[in-house]
Amino acid sequence: MRWLATLLLAQGAWAQVAGVVLDPADRAVPNARLVLAQGPDEREAQTGAAGEFRFDNLAEGSYQLRVEAPGFDPIRRTVRVAARPAPRLTLRLALASLREQVTVSAETVRVNTDIGGNRNTVSVERGLLDNLPILDLDYIAALARFLDPSTPGSGGPSLIVDGMEARNVGVTASAIQEIRINQNPYTVEYPRWSRRRIEVITKAATDRYHGTLNFLLRDHHLNARDAFALTRPPEQRRIWEGSLFGPLGSGKTTSFLLSGTREDEDLQTVVYAQGLAGAIIRNAATPQHNTQASLRITRQLGQRHAIFWQLNYQDRFQYNQGVGGTTIEEAGTHARFREDEFVFNHRGAITPKLLTQFRILIGRYWAPIRSNAAGPRVVVSDAFTGGGAQGDRTTTEFHTSITWLLTQTIRGHTLKYGFNVPDWSRRGLIDRTNRLGAYFYGSLDEYRRNLPFALILQSGEPKTIFIEKNVGGFFQDEWQVRPNLSVAAGLRYDWQNRFGDVNNFGPRAAFAYAPGRARSFVIRGGAGFFFDRSGPAPVFDLLRYDGVRLRRYVVTGSQARPGLDPAAAAGLPTSIVLLDSAAGLPDTAQFSIGFEQQLAKRTTLAVNYIGTRGVQQFRSRDANAPLPPGFSARPDARYSVVRQIESAGRVEGNALEVTVRGTLGRKLNGLAQYNFGRVRSDTGGVSWFPADSFDPRGEWGRADTDRRHQFNLLGTATLHRWVNLGVSASLLSGAPFNITTGRDENGDGLAGDRPAGVTRNTGRGPGMVGFDLRWYREFRLKPAQKDKGPVTTVSLDAFNLLNRVNYQNYVGAVSSPFYGRAVGAQPPRRLQAGFRFQF
């Protein structure tokens, strides 16, 4: 009988509890904390990226299971463990009651070996978002400073909304549940790595009604004067924003989310220029109006499937766009942007171990731009820009994005595979820019003598249409080798039409290892290849500037005479744009190694080295530049500028990053991040030209975004019921700027020539210090119902509280009267009054 008892004990030791944690819309809930208790003994686990969890080596008996996740009500369940395998559990969390506490809870700040559980993630949840000083409720702009400046990219960072790449968030501010940056750096689900994307999680369906109404007001009477303004600009900004969500009808299977905002901005900018008559310093009105709305209907289809439909709408007007600094009002434009989108999402469990998510977005937008004044454009290098803007154009797009993700758990493995179509679009452009010409002068003296160094004219067919196609596929295996060791490996493939390379395979791998039994110290690392996209701008250039369709004349020297009749330019050589035969998508290798330490129960420290090596980076080069030493003639007389788009640039970045997250005592919590690094490159992007098109190697130097030191902090402090504070601080060392002669000495039509011995980005700008503070006070309409019932919050935000002058737009043109000086500054101290009602 002893052998039978041994066998039964062995079977009991291998019993397990496993399952998946989902939100009300059947979306996986990663990083949820689970505690399995039997008497005084407790074991903890954390859900993976697919919401899965598992407790192994359990003895038979009855256990209490507790599940906690930020933004959701905790659940408790009694679990019976027997020798025979138990069915997998499906645990659904309900959205938390009205008030999300402004704390970083213990379950959100514990180090772990989950591949997606890296503690240098910048994760800001709803409660913290509500109580940070956020200008105009623009959460994306406020958190974009945590993006990695060493990572190259075209068209800015990627925006991921509920797991799918999108152009905008869709919902308004109060409908956002959480924002993350640098979550799971080496996942294959997305083309760009985690420091080039912002992930947004919106609020999920609920069976109770909840709503939020925000009103924000900024007025010039509460602001300090801009450092470059003679008088304080008469500004005012009013924002109404809100959301409402809950069940639809009497049942519990259908719910809705409605959000909207209206922004009226009577803003001003400062013109700081120099003309022939002297200084031009004045305030210029730049009013803007924006309306945005969205409606989502969510339907629960049985126990395993849920779908939602969503409509998004946005209509924005901007006046005097581009005005400010050395650009005066007559050279500005007014613009409109109208966008409509439809989103369909399905998430379900095909089997208890296989989850599927399919999402499709269909949208269109229309964006016309019109010049404030008709007339030729006049540009005097870093002195003033006047005349007409010559910026008339209309951009249209019908776009589709598709994502299909399958997540499968097999024993200790979590498999992810699927495909996404980030962008499949019909893009249109009607380009009527430079119809009357744009004249460029190297100095005010040359402008006085009417001696432009270049003239740009355009004529011909303005309309261009093309189809942009971007497709990606991926497979990844996340394997929990042991309770203290997890590894992940995957492969992604990306393809874009109009670029000949088809070998864009990006392998990626990561690991997390916790030596010792306490698991309070984790070593984490990874590496991967990431392919970028070109964006539509260079494709438009390739198609319309073929020398026939839309003729672009870059006239230099004595031929660039003022008053040249556009019809007379027909006999001049045209400029064309070509794609280098070896051009491919930019390829960047990212790698990192570091450790994470549990400093206290609710505080973690993460220290990481991050490396970047980019090749095939986009740049442009004039393949028909005038020949030295006289620069009097171009090699091919049939053409003027022959802009050749190449994948020949490179970038190199190294950084040491320190991140502290959690609480300091009972009343202070937040995150702080310091980055010490250097970024060098020889390109400024696809539209950038080297000073010498015959020798681009001389461009190696500091990248445009290179800052040696960067420190950012977000946090809240509850010191007294009348002293509730939110803090946002940034301390940045200076970014570089280019030093040029301001003249076109090599005859290529560009004023990018540099003085002898001067290389790219050798100018050094000053550092930046920003300190924002929020004071807020909550008033409960039903004080007896703690953490429940309607809540009214009044707040006062101070942006740039210290009123420090943070100079920007440094002039590097030696010929400019502003050489070596700034012609602009970031905004002075501004106060923002806020009112919020929640129920």
CA geometry: angle 33, 212, 182, nearest 5 deg = 40
| 718 or 368: which leads in pLDDT | 368
Phi, psi of 142, rounded to the nearest 5 degrees: -65, -35
Residues 615 and 686 in one domain: yes
Residue 182 and residue 80 share a domain: no
User: Can you tell me the distance from the alpha carbon of 776 to that of 791, in angstroms, rounded to the nearest whole number?
Assistant: 12
Do 243 and 355 lie in a common domain?
yes
Listed range (314-328, 437-451, 694-708) with the worst mean pLDDT: 694-708
Residue 780 has pLDDT above 80, yes or no: yes
Coil, strand, or helix at residue 127? helix
In a shared domain, residues 154 and 71: no
- Provide the token pair at 59: 């003895």
- Spell out the long-range contacts of 315-318 with Cβ–Cβ below 8 A and sequence spacing 24 or more: 315/290, 315/291, 315/339, 316/288, 316/289, 316/290, 316/291, 317/288, 317/289, 317/290, 318/286, 318/288
Query: What is the three-state SS of 216-236?
Result: EEEEHHHCCCCCCCCCCCCCE
* Helix, strand or coil, per DSSP, at residue 796: strand
Q: Within this chain, do residues 43 and 188 fall inside the same structural domain, yes or no?
A: no
- What is the mean predicted confidence (pLDDT) over 75-95? 75
pLDDT score of 401? 94
CB atoms within 10 A of CB 267: 19
- Of residues 175 and 783, more confidently modeled: 175
DSSP H stretches of helix in 109-164: 126-131, 139-143
Min mean pLDDT across 187-196, 620-629, 809-818 is at: 187-196
Which DSSP string corresponds to 292-320?
A: EEEEEEEEEETTTEEEEEEEEEEEEEEEE
Residue 340 lies in a domain: yes
Task: Assess whether pLDDT exceeds 80 at residue 518.
Answer: no
Residue 669 predicted with pLDDT over 70? yes
Around 110, how many Cα atoms within 13 Å sit in the side-chain half-sphere?
A: 20
Q: Among 31, 61, 94, give the residue marking a domain's end.
A: 94
State yes or no: pLDDT of 818 exceeds 50. yes
Please check whether residues 706 and 803 belong to one and the same domain: yes
Banded model confidence at residue 28, pLDDT cuts 50, 70, 90: confident
Q: Tally the domains of the chain.
A: 2
CA 255 to chain centre: 30
Q: Could you tell me if 169 and 137 are in contact, meaning their C-beta atoms sit under 8 angstroms apart? A: no
Predicted local distance difference test score (pLDDT) of residue 457: 93
Q: Are both 87 and 168 inside the same structural domain? A: no
Report yes or no on 134 lying in a domain: no
Distance CA 780, CA 470 (A): 50
For residue 60, name the pLDDT band (cuts at 50, 70, 90): confident
**Residue 178 resides in a domain:** yes
Residue with tokens 């970024």: 679
For residue 72, give the DSSP letter. B
Rg of the chain, C-alpha, whole Å: 29
Closest CA to 105 of 519, 715, 603: 603
Is residue 49 predicted with pLDDT exceeding 70? no
Q: What is the DSSP string of 578-613?
A: EE-TT----EEEEEEEEEEEEEETTEEEEEEEEEEE
Q: For residue 261, what are its two tokens? A: 């905002």
The whole-number pLDDT of residue 98 equals 36
Do 435 and 340 sit in the same domain of this protein? yes
Domain boundary among 66, 94, 122: 94
Q: Is residue 462 part of a domain?
A: yes
Does 619 have pLDDT greater than 70?
yes
Whether residue 204 lies inside any domain: the answer is yes
Considering the domain architecture, whether residues 203 and 295 belong to the same structural domain is answered as: yes
Tokens matching residue 738 = 């280019």
Cα–Cα distance, 290 to 287 (Å, whole number): 10
Q: What are the CA-CA distances from residue 496 to residues 157, 424, 732, 814 (Å)? A: 18, 10, 36, 41
| CA pair distance 254, 608, nearest whole angstrom | 45
The domain that contains 75 carries what CATH number? 2.60.40.10
Residue 59 pLDDT greater than 80, yes or no? no
> For tokens 């408790």, what's the residue?
76
Q: Contact, 733 vs 678, CB < 8 A?
A: no
Is the pLDDT assigned to residue 18 strictly greater than 50? yes
> Which element (helix H / strand E) includes 214?
strand 210-219
Does 333 or 787 have the greater pLDDT score?
333
- pLDDT at 395 > cutoff 50: yes
Residue 837: inside a domain? no
Average pLDDT value for the chain: 88
Residue partners of 253: CB distance under 8 A and separation at least 6: 299, 300, 301
Secondary structure percentages of the chain, helix, strand, coil, to 5: 10, 55, 35
Q: With respect to residue 384, please indicate whether it lies within any of the assigned structural domains.
A: yes
Question: 155 and 90: one domain?
Answer: no
Can you give the pLDDT at residue 302? 81
Q: How many whole angstroms separate alpha carbon 358 and alpha carbon 404?
A: 4
Cα–Cα distance between 776 and 790 in angstroms, integer?
A: 16
Which of 716, 788, 744, 489 shows the shortest CA–CA distance to 641?
744
Q: Which tens digits make up the pLDDT trace of 534-592?
A: 889 999 999 999 999 999 999 988 788 777 776 777 788 999 999 999 899 999 999 99
Instruction: Return d(Cα 729, Cα 711) in angstroms, integer.
Output: 8
Q: Is the pLDDT of residue 417 over 90?
A: yes
Pick from 61, 94, 127: which residue ends a domain? Answer: 94
User: Taking a C-beta distance cutoff of 8 angstroms, is the pair 210, 788 a contact?
Assistant: no
Mean pLDDT of 363-381: 95
pLDDT at 50: 67
Measured CA to CA, the distance from residue 354 to residue 495 in angstroms comes to: 27
HSE-up of residue 607 (Cα within 13 Å, Cβ side)? 5
Question: Same domain for 46 and 157?
Answer: no
Are 86 and 156 in a shared domain? no
pLDDT reading at 24 higher than 70: no
Asked whether residue 836 is assigned to any structural domain, the reply reads no
| Omega before 452 within 30 of 0, i.e. cis | no
Q: Which of 36, 43, 101, 35 is nearest to 68 (CA)?
A: 35
What is the predicted pLDDT for the residue at 152? 52
**In the prediction, which pLDDT does 94 show?**
72
- The answer, yes or no, to whether residue 665 has pLDDT greater than 90, is no
How does residue 469 score in pLDDT terms, banded at 50, 70 and 90? very high
pLDDT of residue 328: 96
- Are the beta carbons of 143 and 134 closer than 8 angstroms? no
Strands (E), 432-573: 438-441, 454-460, 463-482, 485-496, 505-513, 521-531, 550-556
* Residue 101 confidence (pLDDT): 32
The predicted pLDDT at position 95 comes to 58
* Residue 804, C-beta contacts closer than 8 angstroms, at least 6 positions apart: 769, 770, 771
Q: 563: which residues sit within 8 A by CB, 6+ positions away?
A: none
What is the structure's pLDDT at 828?
Answer: 94
Question: In 10 A of CB 807, how many CB atoms?
Answer: 19
Domain of 25 in residue numbering reads as 2-94
Q: What integer pLDDT is reported at residue 8 of this predicted model?
A: 32
Tell me phi and psi for residue 188, to 5 degrees: -95, 0
pLDDT bracket for residue 107 (50, 70, 90): very low
Residue 267, pLDDT above cutoff 80:
yes
More confident of the two residues 783 and 697: 697
Q: What is the pLDDT of residues 292-313, one digit of tens each?
A: 999 999 998 887 888 999 999 9
What is the average per-residue pLDDT within 650-674?
89
